[in-house]
Amino acid sequence: MDYRKFLGKVESAVLPYFGGGTVDAPSRRLRVATPVRPGWWRFEVQGRVATAREPAGPEGLDGLPRVRGHVWGSRLVREGAVAEPLELMPEEEPPRLALVSARRWHDGSLVFEGLEFEGEAEDAARRALEEGQSLSGAKGVSAALRAAFGYAQLETASRALAIRFAPAEVRAKVLDVAEGGRAKAEECLRHLVAEREAHLRAQAMRAAAVEAREYAAGLVAEAQRRAADDAYTAGPMSEAQRRALEREAAAGRVYATQVLAEAQRRAGHPGRRGAREDGMERAERALQSAGARLRDVRRLAGNQLEVTYTFMDERFITLVDAHSLQVVDAGVCLAGADSEVTLESLPSVIREAIDTGVLVITRHA
């Protein structure tokens, strides 16, 4: 077989492009040669590279899973109060809280399909929202519609109070907001602010404690140095004192050798595959194995990476060590346990926080 002919084969495919550097075909992820505006495009595919050639109409949706829910902004709110991003929305914005259908694309994204037939419940919810009322006592309103209504109430309160929130932070409380109205929405957001402020206070206290320990260690080292100087000026050392100093010096040399070896290992010793790999590639593999999707990586001072990714329909920003991917700042409240997790294990911690209704996002774009 002439593999050169296979590698040079050019195919045509109509795919939805959501932005960024990749586009997903049914069986694989392709790198986009030149980014274009989001939408349906006819791509020319060669190997693992896709080049957008011209806009196209939707194709390949019929056999995909259909998901129904209610519109909240650019999200579809479905069962379980899950608010997922809705991709490729129509140019004409659907009515607030409209019942819509979407298709689950091969990468897990929801692609807008169309409006669904509505009943009286949607009109009643829209009127209540316009009049600043709650849904307490409303009949025939589905759980998904109540959740969408609750998110809309929170959005209104968020603008008034200048308190930002992510849907995953309030998912466990959104039905209570729908029942309690504006007052409950404000209470929910203020509680979120209190949690964030408590996190910052605890973070400052931990930093102060580290600084105090370092200062105390410096005082002890200085005291030991002065004691050694005093002993030296007091007279000649005994044989026992001389041997003790030699043992300490030898131990210091061993420790310095170990530190140097570790620094060389982290810097990337020849033959170590992991040390040579690009930080973005390693971060992408770590997140992909945990069910998350990498969006961006930015190198920072101090040998750190700022990793932006999506997980469970939310966007997160985490600071990690560039070599080990050990978490430096999770971007969510972990009660000071950030360094105990890695980029690969962090998504499972986030999942548990969302499922138990205690997620607090501390790092926003």
pLDDT class for 279, splitting at 50, 70, 90? confident
Distance, C-alpha 354 to centroid of its chain = 13
Lowest mean pLDDT, pick from 11-25, 103-117, 239-253, 335-349: 239-253
Q: What is the pLDDT of residues 175-193, one digit of tens each?
A: 999 999 999 999 999 999 9
Residue 36: pLDDT over 50: yes
Average pLDDT, the chain: 86
Name the packing angle between helices 143-161 and 120-130 (round to 10°): 20
Q: What strand order describes the sheet that includes 49-55? A: 10-17, 39-46, 49-55, 29-32, 22-24
CA-closest candidate to residue 268, choices 322, 339, 327, 343? 322
Closest CA to 159 of 73, 99, 227: 73
pLDDT of residue 32: 94
* pLDDT surpasses 80 at 270: no
Question: Residue 210 and residue 204: Cα distance in Å, rounded?
Answer: 10
pTM metric for this prediction: 0.74
Q: What is the pLDDT of residue 9?
A: 82
What is the pLDDT at residue 256?
A: 58
Is residue 64 within 8 A of residue 105, CB to CB? The reply is: yes
Across residues 320-331, what is the average pLDDT?
A: 92
Tens of pLDDT along 206-259? 878 778 788 777 777 777 777 666 665 656 666 776 677 667 666 666 665 665
Cα-Cα-Cα-Cα torsion 84, 88, 93, 97, nearest 10 degrees, comes to: -20
Q: Cα 140–145–149 angle (5° rounding)?
A: 115
DSSP string, 238-271: PHHHHHHHHHHHHHHHHHHHHHHHHHHHHHH-TT
Q: Between these two residues, 255 and 135, which has the higher pLDDT value? A: 135
pLDDT on residue 237: 61
Helices (H) and strands (E) in the chain, counts: 10, 14
Specify the pLDDT at position 363.
Answer: 87
What integer pLDDT is reported at residue 214 of this predicted model? 80
